[in-house]
Structure 1
Amino acid sequence: MSAANFQLNEDQFLCSICLDVFTDPVTTSCGHNFCKTCITQHWDVNVSCQCPNCQKVFNTRPELQVNTFISEVAAQFRQSAQQKASSSSSEQQVSKPGEVPCDVCTGTKLKALKSCLVCLASYCETHLEPHLTMSGLKRHQLIDPVENLEGRMCEKHDKQLELFCKTDQMCVCVLCSVLDHKTHDAVPLKEEYEGKKAELGKTEAETQEMIQKRRLKIQEIKRSVELSNQNADREIAEGVQVFTALMESVERSQAELVDTIKEELRKTEKQAEGFIKELEQEISELEKRSSEVEQLSRSEDHLHLLQSFTSLNAAPPTKDWTEVSVCPPLYEGNVRKALNGLEDTFSKQMQKAGLRIAKQYAVDLTLDPDTASPWLILSDDGKQVKRGDVKKNLPDNPERFRFGPAVLAKQSFSSGRFYFEVQVKGKNLWALGIVRESINRKEEQELGPQTKACIIGFISNGACCALDFPLVGLSLKSQPEKVGVFVDYEEGLVSFYDVDAATLMHSFTGWSFTEKLYPILSPDTNEDGKNSAPLIISPVNHTDSINQLIL
């Protein structure tokens, strides 16, 4: 018989068991053809002898003889198919290392286009055609080519892994689910696949959010470095003006100041570089994990995703960057050290420079009526307080001062630096400063260190004192009309300035703050109208301090 005249459909020469061209074909009494080895092994496994195609049961196992006619025709068809595959192989890609080869190709292995989860084989374009044309094979599940298809079979029962045991977190076959995992919670692979894929999506979103937060933190640190550079440039320029005005006697101090400021800047930049390096390292690790998660989440292979999910690396350890920041250096101490030992003029310049720097940390305060003593009267805008003549009937809430004529600001501070100014013009008795949150507000007491406060004020006979321990009398050339208060929380420093004279009145140093700090104002008694002027929280004027520094 000539192959050229052969017109039968190629489906007729494929064994329905192995799905390949017949080898030693045999015919059952029901008229269906199989490879002799395929049907023999099929009957060896099954209890009854039954035709795989029509399900006819044979009472006795038939003796099968090779059908020579079909064998010859199949041989011709195989030869024709091999010639066809050979002619098309030049058009298809040969399997390269790392690629999945076709399991059917003999000789040169072509690159597989799909793997069949039912046949547990991978096929090139030519050998994939039956799965695309034959009605029985069209129902098989095809996926992108993968290796180790045998790993998709249950080693114990030689059945396809179709279920996922949620109890033991493993893939199982149908027999496993009714035997070894009978009482366990088993679901179809697809159901668990969808759940795990959703988890991967959530993990990917969380990872991307962590990456974005760290990128934002890098921007924040870079902005802090830029601010440090700006502050450093301004400080150097203004420092040069100060030391130039002092002529040759201060040239050496001028150079030392510049070097000190630059050193502080270098430390700040080095700290920022360290933070950025850490953040970039965390981003790199998170991006690596993101890539792994993304690659796995894109998989359409249910089994591969589930088997790989448990081995997915845990999220890399990361630092909580919420409270991390680069704080621009404060140069007040550097200026004071540089000016130390010079004459009175030099000391005045130092104090003016300190006030100017302190003003950079100005905050807007509003008095809290819930803390005000019943003897006090507050303005509607919360910026002024004075002593009244009549004690008001107010709720004795925990925040309120019961005896002392004092009131706190609404704003509190637990880190960093802050500065505010209070007008005391027209008053000969007053007190102001900062207190800790835990100060006792219900007992009559003298404000001072023992009451967790840093206070200065004018007391009897017009004397200005720092309520330190022991009490410190302040020698002032004139009575201040506006007082500035500067606080460095971490340094434990609280400084008071005569704003108009640009001089330092007093500093509390060496304190250790561990709780919230609140600004406090006390207008004291009225003294028959002689001390009735209010204490006023004033807006900070930055221009005045620069002019004073130049003068």
Structure 2
Amino acid sequence: MALEDELSCPVCTELFSDPVLLSCGHSFCRQCINSHWTSSKSRNCPVCRQVSPQEPVSNLCLRNTCESYLREKNKKEQKDGEHECPIHGEKIELFCQNDEQTICATCMDYEHRWHKTQPLQQAVKQRKGKLKVALRPAENMLLSLRNGAAKDAKISKYNQSQAQQTERRIREEFNKLQQFLKKEEESRIAALNEEEKEKRGKMKRKISSLSDRLREVEEKMKDDDVTFLQNYNSIMNRAKQTLPDSELSPEALIDVQKHLGNLKYQVWEKMKDICPYYPVILNPNAAPPDVSMSNDLTSVTSCVRRQDEPNPLLLHRSRMVLGSVGYGSGVQMWDIEVGNSRHWSLGVCLGSEERSFVQMLNPENPCCWGLRRDGDVYKFLNTTATFKLKTNPQVVRVKLGDCFDKKGGWWRNVSYFDATLNSIFAYFHLPAGMELFPFVIPEKRSGPLRIVPAKVTVTFEQVEEERSLPERHTVSPKVRWNVLFLVLFFLLVVLCVFVMYHLIY
């Protein structure tokens, strides 16, 4: 860059073009110096300000130097655009097919002598052709997506439909909550106004009673002298009764604590009636197309075909409706209302590793542990065994838990109860460590199968830090009895050892 700066015109700061020399010794582009003299109306040098009365002469030496510099610069730029072999410094013109790397002619004579090579441009042409072939499926997919014919486009359309329906249902649920809160607010304000009205009525009645008594005494005072003196004592007693109370009773004030005390908790406690908790939520994305599901995802019914947008993904090959969450350990329990239906299936099943589908439900499939009712007969889904019940349950309770056998192994236990009688009528033992999903199968001849909301109880525990020091260190009666038993047992052992020692010796 230093050489290029020396070969640049001071006026345009570009490389000299047709340079001329002034009498002062400075050089400029012919066009640049002429333009400068025209604009300034004087023939002074733009660098040293000396006047140049003579016409500038061509600087041939400087012009040749600039042209040589430009030629070298263009050669260097062309050379930089080519790739050289890092070993031999020659131009890379070949491609080794054995090692799949670019090489020069010297590389082909030595390191790649026995390898199969081809010209660089031919290799590029072949591989670009292969890339175009590889990109063709992606181009077709992109065209299908833009035209709306691909499966992904159908999924996108289905997602839009799901989002719209879910948003509508969310708004409906929040509208219910808002209506409840609005009604509760109006009810509590009405109760407050009613109490204030009652207090105000009592005050009015007291004022009215007091006014009547004052009027009565004043009327008695207008009697003639004899009558007034004869009734003086009774009038005095009546006048004393009209005096107001020296202190007002607290009952005369609004019971504010009744209206504001734990207000939010009391409202929340009442909201539990309209906000049930369901231990199992069904998965609408894993429901077959001939099953109708309730808006709260807790009830299913067999139908000809759902009215909403069909699911483009077939997540399983059976008529199962799966729960949204699988359980791998711990105790879980949920109730399913089957009513008087004589045809239904329910239980737990093992999802696939990809969780994309569940295997076909059949008696030979060992991945399902459930029951099916067909009329008066009950059948285990993974066996051919059948049985009957004296009383058909209307609510089936499914309990999933862990158990420990005598051999020292952990097992999962799936039990089925009649929830009304709380009596077990079927159970399965299966190995632990598997994630099990609840499922129901609404048969075509059955009524709706509905998850029963669980009863939620709230308990309050005192924070340990808030307990007083004596209370924190108080020993429970059960602990005291255990310590006393251990002390007595130790004394008894010592006594037995002492007696045996004396008997022997």
TM > 0.5: no
Please report the TM-score for the alignment, with normalisation by the length of structure 1: 0.29
